[in-house]
Homo-oligomer: A and B are copies of this chain.
Amino acid sequence: MPPAHPFDDDKLKEECGVFGVIGLTDAANFVALGLHALQHRGQEAGGIVAHDPEQGFNSARRFGYVRDNFTKQSLMETLPGPLSIGHVRYSTAGSKGAVIRDVQPFFGEFSMGGAAIAHNGNITNAEELRRELIERGSIFQSSSDSECIIHLMARSLQKHAAERLEDALRRVEGAFSVVAMTRTKLIGVRDPLGVRPLVLGRLGDGWVLSSETCALDIIGAEFEREIEPGEMVVITDKGVESRHPFRPQKSRFCIFEHVYFSRPDSIIGGRSVYETRRQIGVELARENPVDADLVCPVPDSGTPAAIGFSQESGIPYAMGIIRNQYMGRTFIEPTEQIRNMGVRLKLNVNRALIRGKRVILVDDSVVRGTTSRKIKDMILDAGAKEVHFRIASPPTAWPCFYGVDTPQREKLLAANMSEDEMCDYLGVDSLRFISLDGLYRAVGEAQGRDPASPAYCDACFSGEYPVAPRDMLAKGFELKAAE
């Protein structure tokens, strides 16, 4: 199971996608399709829980792609019923060994019935909560922060699961888009800042919750609306009830969902993600023009921005780098060294096209910078005359604590170097990032970023964390000094 994205090892990674269905026969089959469409949000593992009035709760959790597990008749038949939720998750880089117990949804049997939850985001006070719960006799099965939610629910004095979930989430800090289910209810919640996405769709008599709209499309569901930051929807056969269990706050949606995480065919805040990315390319071309022969995307995530850059600059768009559709990662390295073999397994330069040309490479971000260097090498080996990098996001200088897998701050190239130093380090003729204001303009904020009250969470670029990362601070993480 090779990665679907060529540079997974040098990208920020969304950690989860969630999906839920109520009111459709064999709901788990829809969930499987929805998770397949959300696979880019979590490639490591997936799980589905379903409830049937006669057979009760059933669940299946598997490592690997949705398409390889949840397509088997024999498995899907064990998940009957009109109510189902599912979850896909990413591998945490460097974890000592993934275990199936960490795969969501998590399930708990309470005295008035059971509930299952699937969580996208990250709880920033999870370690504190876990310590407290263990002291009081809870037994944790996983190393996941999300498991706190189910234990908090188990200990709630509320009778029903929806109210137990409210209780639990009021104790939780950080970012969460949660899809949960009881025997009769499908529940969706977003944290007050609305950091992670969650949308509501409709299919026939059924309702659907999904991280992104692209997963509504795959099952032919109509997009209804986004769940609002701080909102909880409780869906039964009587319809959708909306609650607001949290103190209201100004929302701070993750701006990186626009840049990279979400699928280009999803719609966020009424805007096509593809179109936003193309617009980033336009802004990028305006902010950082350069004379060149070709604009080439680093496949595949740089493609929309490269198209926009080409259209704005008038420099022809071309596929200078071809991605191998059958990517692999573990071939035996032959005795005689192959230069940059890891990259060659995934990409190849279109040599006849590149030779003698001045090439603009458009990529979505620079994280460690390791693959950017290798790509530059390949392009120069192929005979390019000049290489100019244009990056569709500002320098990534701070880790995310809200559900994205980022390297430690020390490993982030932009945490250690200025833009010029990075250019030298990468060995390219020029390197330019879009400005934070430019990025805000591309996502529709005509005035750019309002420093007093930014419309998005942009902590990875700005170092301004909208929720204090309590567990990390306890471990010694240092916030950006006040300026």
Q: Does A483 lie at the interface of the complex (its beta carbon under 8 Å from any beta carbon of B)? A: no
Q: A67-B330, A109-B139 are in contact. List 15 more A-B contacts (CB 8 A).
A: A26-B335, A36-B328, A40-B325, A43-B326, A66-B328, A70-B331, A137-B137, A138-B154, A139-B154, A218-B345, A220-B338, A265-B351, A272-B350, A274-B318, A275-B353
In chain A between 318 and 351, which residues have their CB closer than 8 angstroms to a CB of chain B? 318-319, 322, 324-336, 338-339, 341, 344-345, 348-351
User: Given A4-B326, A154-B137, A325-B40, are A332 and B217 also a contact pair (CB < 8 Å)?
Assistant: no
Contact A317 B307 (CB under 8 A): yes
Are A67 and B331 in contact, with the CB atoms below 8 A? yes
Residues of B near A151 (CB, < 8 A) are 137, 139
Contact A331 B36 (CB under 8 A): yes
Which of A109, A203, A329: most chain B Cβ within 10 A? A109
Which residues of A (30-47) have their CB < 8 Å from a CB of B?
Answer: 30, 32-33, 36-37, 39-40, 43
With beta carbons under 8 angstroms apart, the residue of B108, B204, B303 that contacts A139 is B108
Contact A338:B141 (CB < 8 A) given known A32-B331, A36-B324: no
A336 / chain B contacts, CB cutoff of 8 Å: 24-25, 203-204
Please, could you name 25 A-B residue pairs with CB atoms under 8 Å apart, sorted by A? A4-B326, A5-B325, A24-B334, A26-B335, A29-B333, A32-B332, A37-B324, A66-B328, A67-B331, A71-B332, A73-B332, A76-B332, A109-B140, A111-B134, A134-B154, A141-B141, A214-B348, A218-B338, A219-B344, A220-B344, A265-B349, A267-B352, A272-B351, A304-B319, A307-B317
Q: B residues within 8 A CB of A33? A: 331, 334, 338, 341, 344-345
CB pair A264 B219 closer than 8 Å: no
A344 to B351, CA, bound (A): 34
Instruction: State in angstroms the CA–CA spacing of A271 and B348 once bound together.
Output: 16
Does A2 count as interface, using CB distance less than 8 angstroms? yes
Write out the residue numbers on chain B whose beta carbons fall within 8 Å of the beta carbon of A324: 36-37, 39
Asked if A251 is at the interface of the complex by the 8 Å CB criterion, the answer is no
In chain A, positions 159-202 with a C-beta closer than 8 Å to chain B are: none
- Contact B71–A326 (Cβ < 8 Å): no
Which residues of chain A have a CB within 8 Å of any CB of chain B? 2, 4-5, 24-26, 29-30, 32-33, 36-37, 39-40, 43, 65-67, 70-71, 73, 76, 78, 97, 100, 108-111, 131, 134-141, 150-151, 154-155, 203-204, 214, 217-220, 263-265, 267, 271-272, 274-275, 278, 300, 303-304, 307, 311, 316-319, 322, 324-336, 338-339, 341, 344-345, 348-353
| C-alpha spacing A12/B159, complex, angstroms | 43
Q: Is the CB of B36 within 8 A of A322?
A: no
* Residue of A2, A219, A350 ringed by the most chain B CB atoms within 10 A: A350
Q: Report the separation of the CA atoms of residues A16 and B415 in the bound assembly, to the nearest whole angstrom.
A: 49
Whether A322 and B139, one on each chain, are in contact in the complex, defined by CB atoms closer than 8 angstroms, is no
Task: Name the B residues within 8 Å of A349 (CB-CB).
Answer: 217, 265
Which chain B residues border A271 with CB–CB below 8 Å?
352
Closest residue of chain B to A335, judged by CB? Answer: B25
Complex CA gap A39/B331 in Å reads 14
In the bound complex, CA of A40 to CA of B348 (Å): 14
Known: A67-B326, A138-B154. A319 touches B307 (CB 8 A): yes
